[in-house]
Structure 1
Amino acid sequence: MARKTSLSGFPEWLPEERLVELHVLDVLRETFELHGFSSIETRAVETVGHLLRKGEIDKEVYAVSRLQEDEDAGSPKGEDQLALHFDLTVPFARYVVENSGYLTFPFRRYQMQKVWRGERPQEGRAREFTQADIDVVGDGTLPFRYDVELALVMIDALSRLPIPPFTLRINNRKLAEGFYRGIGLTDADGVLRNIDKLEKIGPEKVAEALREELGATAEQAAAALELASIRTDDTSFVEQVRALGVTDELLDEGLAELAEVVGEASRRAPGKVVADLSIARGLDYYTGTVYETVLVGHEHLGSICSGGRYESLASTGKKTYPGVGLSVGVTRLVTRMLSQGMAVPSRKVPTSVLVSLVDEESWSQAQDVAGQLRARGVSCEVSATAAKFGKQIKYAERRGIPFVWFTTRGEDGALAHEVKDIRSGEQVPADPAAWAPPAEDLRPVVRAVAAVGA
């Protein structure tokens, strides 16, 4: 069970909880690498000017400064001031521009790092959290097929995790913007920002905001909401949009792109993809396909994985590097996994064997045994004191260590080794140069719990 920490919004895990988080990160990393993505890491800070180029999130950005500023040192101010990054896409765009001469395009990268946002803490929203991103970026152009591939890669990755069924919901901002333009709403970004609040505040308040903030008529607001109500698990959304009677070239382009993504993804991953025309994504840098992912039965948690296509986020002014990417909210996902008991580790610690001490003089000898075990990949630790064997076994039980190693010396001076499975009580002779635990006990294993509460 995830715990509350003394500093709200900055989660910390117990060792057994951290094992679940590490399992999620390992699965994502392994899957991303199977699909040919390379790992990078960017710095934690960017300039304020760079971070605020796209998206309305200035109230959420944490600025960075020294406690005692040196006025003579000319500390950066304004757009040059340093701030912690709020996502991994904006820093990645800067990384691509600065390193373009050393990268091979299309460039495929994954990135797993902490990010920071000054949000109001609640379940699923933290101020410090971990994201795991994948992106493909092109030099000048990027084939649209990557919009399809990214969806399939992420479906593969999430399907390997011990979580409930999930749905990848996909839309296209060209489709939405073209539709709004076709009904006479020129502030497409403003409409999208309000549609993005649909699940939080409901259609009536969204319609009210469209009328009051953007000057939409009742008919225009109703049409925007009707578009947002369309959801299909195949390409039949195209006919439903056409039936609304709106025409626009950008709408046509968005419909064709979304049909390609949903058609191919639903064929390869049936039951996992939905065309959801309410998906908008709040950040302004998205220009085409947009994605959100929800756990079935846990929709109120919000999206656990989201992203989209961006054409000009990475740009030198003369050259652009269009990309498409998806980001897993690892901390949001792990918090729900822990709070709902979706997955549990087979033990609390990596240690497989506790090497016991017969007496205080046997510590060096016990270290020799531990060294032989570790050389073959068996995690172990040596008992700190030569307490009674019963107490040493109790210590192993409290730590969740499955095996205890005993070494004794016979009358002839020969060493005798035995290992005990403290779960079953079975104790057998063992050779430190050859013995290994069963494969399932070599390291902690994170397993899904059969019944998951919503």
Structure 2
Amino acid sequence: MPISGFPEWLPPQRIIEQRFLDKIRSTFELYGYAPLETRAVEPLDILLSKGETSKEVYLLHRLQEDENAKREDQLGLHFDLTVPFARYVVENNGKLQFPFKRYQIQKVWRGERPQEGRYREFLQADIDVINRDTLPFHFDTEMPLVIGDVFRSLPIPEAVILVNNRKVCEGFYRGLGLADTAQVLRVVDKLDKIGPEKVAAALVETAGATDAQAAACLALAEISATDGSFVDRVRALGVTDPLLDEGLNELLQVVETANEHNPGLVRAELKIARGLDYYTGTVYETQLKGYERFGSITSGGRYDNLASAGNTRFPGVGISIGVSRLLGLLFGQDALTVSRSVPTCVVVAVPSDDKRAECDRIASALRRRGIPAEVAPTAAKFGKQIQFADRRGIPYVWFPGEPDTVKDIRSGEQIEADADSWQPPAADLHPDVSAR
């Protein structure tokens, strides 16, 4: 029986997922990110110390576990890959070369309400850069470039990366005279969910804002631009603060670098805050054109205080692709297709049962040369063996004989072939994933 929020893809969907992961992995490695995998569980205290996540954490315990077990001994499944990564860096900092660039592609678990594109168990693909003491800002500008290259390699609609900087928001709120900037950020982050009127009311009620201050916060959140014009629009609001200046300069660098690399890739969106408390500077979210109503498919940001060991800090910046989220949305709209439902490129037909060993040798010769091959399951009539291949989208059927021949069952063309030299077109070697 299916369990809500725990997706299980069909084989053709899984092939699509694997092709996406191949593209993601290869792009990450082109930028110098090294692979890493961390454990699935973390001590509960670590998971609960990084923001408003307590309702989402899945606890792990034995069926017969002592009900009075101390909280510090409890384990939970990780809800993202950044918190485990920060813990890993602290524990292994003596063995790592800094700045440390890594990617992780792993499952994570969140106890939230399942809906289209949102799951309780899902796959994320993260990149992060972390350093000792200080992290050069140019790594913040690199994140959108990597993600932009990933998306350009995939058969998906155009994506726009929305960027902001928490220093802009916090400096602006400080300049307004609002002391509890963290609460203001949390409220403004709900703008798309509850609307400006409720945000304004919540700012007055929970953050001590006056109506004028709440209106100014909303005016900042309305600013959006694909170029550096957002700076003048913020200045026009008449608020000054050193942290605001620092944030505007950083955000401008991100926008200008991305525009040079890939015009239209990023948009400064000053309502973006991100819900997790550990972000301290640049923040990212991504919208897929035509799927904006479903929210962000990648997100991340700068965190200066997430990891430390003694007096040594390990600031970092990272971004995460919600792989299951992205695929779930595209599968839901039937937006992707794959050329076949199995990896097999060629089926070796079996003329009779006593010829199976010979057919196995042919398949082995093809496999040694990197051609995915399987032998037909039975020595049925050739017409039925061709149907076996056709139903699975397998393009070629090999017929042993004197000489051997191979047939492209799509065109009907049949040619003489040798298992030690025949090569299918590169496009046929593996299943092809495309937009529908």
Q: CA deviation at 1:161?
A: 1.3
Distance 1:165 1:401 in 2: 31
TM-superposed CA distance for 1:215, in Å, is 2.6
- Give 1:76 deviation, angstroms: 5.3
* SS of aligned partner of 1:378: coil
Q: 1:269 maps to what in 2?
A: 262
Count of residues in correspondence between the two structures:
436
Matched, 1:417 2:404: yes
1:15-414 paired onto structure 2 within 5 Å: 15-69=11-65, 71=66, 77-408=70-401
Identity %: 60
Q: CA deviation at 1:263?
A: 2.0
CA distance in 2, matches of 1:79, 1:192: 30
Give the superposition deviation at 1:80: 2.5
**Cα distance in 1 for residues equivalent to 2:167 and 2:88:** 27
Q: Distance in 2 between matches of 1:75 and 1:146?
A: 45
Counterpart-to-counterpart distance in 1, 2:63 and 2:6: 21
Return the alpha-carbon distance in structure 2 between the equivalents of residues 124 and 404 of structure 1: 38
The residue matched to 1:134 in structure 2 has which SS? strand
Distance 1:76 1:139 in 2: 36
Deviation at 1:322, TM superposition (A): 0.4
Runs of 5+ in structure 1 lacking a partner? 409-414, 450-454
For residues 75-97 of structure 1, give each alpha carbon's deviation from its aligned partner in whole angstroms, at most 9, with x where no partner exists: 95313211100000000001111
Residue by residue over 1:298-348, the C-alpha shift from the partner in whole angstroms, topping out at 9 and shown as x without a partner, is 111111111000001111131110000000000111112222233321211
Query: What is the aligned partner in structure 2 of residue 412 from structure 1?
Result: none
Distance 2:70 2:144 in 1: 40
Runs of 4+ in 1 over 6 A off after TM superposition: none
- Residue 243 of structure 1 deviates from its aligned partner by 1.1
Instruction: Structure 2: give runs of 5+ residues left out of the alignment.
Output: none
**Partner of 1:60: helix, strand, or coil?**
coil
Amino acid aligned to 2:12: E
Distance of 2:278 and 2:89 partners within structure 1:
16
Partner amino acid for 1:437?
A: P
Q: CA deviation at 1:393?
A: 1.3
Instruction: Quote the residue 1:6 is aligned against.
Output: 2
Tell me how far apart the structure 1 counterparts of residues 212 and 107 of structure 2 sit (CA, whole Å). 44
Is the Cα contact below 8 Å between 1:50 and 1:79 reproduced in 2? no
CA drift of 1:417 comes to 1.1
Task: Give the SS at the match of 1:337.
Answer: helix
Q: How many Å separate the matches in 1 of 2:177 and 2:248?
A: 19
1:198-226 Cα shifts (integer Å, max 9, x gaps): 11111111112112222321111111100
CA distance in 1, matches of 2:72, 2:275: 22
Read off the aligned partner of 1:285 and give its amino acid letter.
Answer: Y
> Helix, strand or coil: the match of 1:58?
coil
Are the counterparts in 2 of residues 162 and 342 from structure 1 also a CA contact under 8 Å? Answer: no
CA shift, 1:282, in A, is 0.3
Deviation at 1:356, TM superposition (A): 1.4
Rounded to whole Å, the distance in 2 between the matches of 1:297 and 1:396 is: 36
Normalising by structure 1, report the TM-score.
Answer: 0.93
Cα distance between partner residues in 2 of 1:295 and 1:76: 45
Q: Residues 96-150 of structure 1, C-alpha deviation per residue, up to 9 Å, x if partnerless?
A: 1111111110111011000000010001210000000011111111111111112
- Alpha-carbon distance in structure 1 between the residues aligned to 2:208 and 2:9: 48
C-alpha deviations, 1:245-289, integer Å up to 9, x for none? 111121121111112221222232211111110000000000001
Amino acid at match of 1:207: A
